[in-house]
Chain A
Amino acid sequence: MIYRETGQFKTSYASDQQLFPILQDRVFVIGFLVFAFGVMPFVASEYMFRAILVPFLILSLAALGLNVLVGYCGQVSLGTGGFMAVGAYAAYNLAVRVPDLNLLVVFVLAGLCATIVGVLFGIPSLRIKGFYLAVATLAAQFFIDWLFARVKWFTNDSSSGSVSAPPLAMFGFPIESPAEKYLFVLAIVVVFALVARNLTRGAIGRSWMATRDMDVAAAVIGIRPLTAKLSAFAVSSFFVGVSGALWGFVYLGSWEPLAFDVNRSFQLLFMVIIGGLGSILGSFLGAAFIVILPLALNQLPAALGIRLSTAMISHIELMIFGALIVFFLIVEPRGLARLWAIAKEKLRLWPFPH
């Protein structure tokens, strides 16, 4: 009833191929964007911006990038944290060494640096797959961690090895307040989500999915594994690199390589699994879930009057993450996104199921 496509006829190819073919989707998206851009900056508290919204958006972007690789192209990577680090340190070096560069240019160039590194470490995917590849990407993770910790040039000879981002500004306007930071990140993430959506439903996205479903068969029908796999690595690393730069510049402000260690890679992989493999929406849902769960775990027992020690909360957090991964893999391998799709199916008929 509420979500009904009846009567929406597509009379031209253009209308059939548009981004959101269903009217309700369009209304929702536009409504939501208006809300996110127009209302949120005024109603959200500083805490919301800093501790929830900004990290959620940045991690969504990284999860989006990883989802292109894992969900769409089927190449499991455990080196995401490393590629984020490449983005963050590239952006840092660009900003420090070329002082008057526009911030957006810095981020795009940082993304490109991550792309190069990503493709380089993606080359083994042509020979190996599955968990062999997963372990091979760990090589990238550990090597990159080491590189930024040890090679002083990358940290501009900082004696402590910790670097801090210069003040953020664009076209002369400073980006300082939490709301400004939020809007900045939101704009970037929306653009990237749009790009991802279009890439994945285009020819290149279909070649990724064919490779994911069965690479030998895909090669037989004329998809070059080389192009498909490496392009997935390139696009994914670009997204991840930009998110790394944002994480360092906008969220952390100053950081050390440990901020991008192997646990970050696992965390992002969990977002993708829980949110939904091969789904743009899933990346956002997964990120939201993983950002909010620890906060909820911290607040809920207290709200219910149960006193848990800090340590116990962390242990429970680990247990819930672990159990949920297994749960989703068994019950709903397509994650939260699939649950949402099911809800939509139901909404078609609701409240008159007959």
Chain B
Amino acid sequence: MSDPKPTRVEVRLPSRLGYEKVAMSTAAAVAKLMGFADDRIEDLKTAVAEACINAIEHGNRLNENLSVGVILSSEANALEVKVIDGGKGMTGQPKKPDIDRKMRGEEPARGLGMFLMQALVDEAEWVASDDGGGSYVRLVIRLDKAA
């Protein structure tokens, strides 16, 4: 049951850990309607969860007065997810985690989220805001891409 018409779905989340699951479920439902395979939907769910967790923890610093915006835009062959927060955002690309360095205590055990986003979807882009009001991460997953 694929839906080829461009569609936009928006969700606003409180900056409270756990609510990333609302975005995961919404993204999964949209991807299912578009005809994505189950394994690609699992990839998308993890990437969206990590984007929302970063937005809640680092962008909005767990300030429950701020919300995280999630905009899902579907085209015929791709689903774009923007996760928007009120922080200054980041530039550059995430480093691949080095498990050996982590095991030796030379880098923190944490810091895996951005790597997972980049590894699990077809495009991951971080866009910083000059005025600190609307940084976002943009994730794209394509229908024709095998897992």
Q: Do A and B bind each other?
A: no
Taking beta carbons and an 8 Å cutoff, which residues of A are in contact with B?
Answer: none
Taking beta carbons and an 8 Å cutoff, which residues of B are in contact with A?
Answer: none
